[in-house]
Amino acid sequence: MKKVTYLITILLGVLLLSACSEELKSLVDEEDAAAIEVATSQNTGKGSLKLLTPTITTDENQLKFETDGIDEDKITYIYVANQKVWAQKIKNKQSYKISIKDIKNAHRTDYKPKVQLFQYKDDNEENDMTTFKQARYEVKESK
């Protein structure tokens, strides 16, 4: 009997949580939905960011990346290890190289540094973000 009561309690809890989730979705506007998407999935907007150099050594000072489905009419901002390294329009399915020579934390081996892509409404960094993509790369000690 205790097992049945326990099972019913769990099922009711799951049902209640899923109903609350649907109710919350109906209450948030598009801007809030984008912020929630970034917070939960680390990704918003159309397109993708692909690192063509997912692993580098501590002696290497370049990363290569490619995008697909990103808005080519907007300025794309690229950050490596939280430092801006790029601010220009890009073409999809074309590879680009970025220098990480003087970027603090870009060669850390104790975690995977990140490359982040941003695009903003009206190409203004003060406006709302319309696209955010993130990828991480690994740094290995040079031999």
Cα separation, 94 vs 131, in Å, equals 18
**pLDDT score for 31:** 60
Closest Cα to residue 93, out of 74, 114, 67? 67
Average pLDDT, the chain: 87
**pLDDT score for 9:** 82
Beta strands in the chain (DSSP E): 48-51, 55-57, 62-68, 76-80, 83-88, 96-99, 114-120, 129-136, 138-140
Is the model more confident about 40 or about 60? 60
What tens digit of pLDDT does each residue of 60-86 get? Answer: 999 999 999 999 999 999 999 999 999
- The count of other CB atoms within 10 Å of the CB of residue 32 is 11
Question: Is the pLDDT score of 20 beyond 60?
Answer: no
Cα 91 → chain centroid: 19
The class (CATH top level) of 44-140 is: mainly beta
**pLDDT score for 32:** 64
What tens digit of pLDDT does each residue of 90-118 get? Answer: 999 999 999 999 999 999 999 999 999 99
Q: What is the value of pTM for the model shown?
A: 0.72
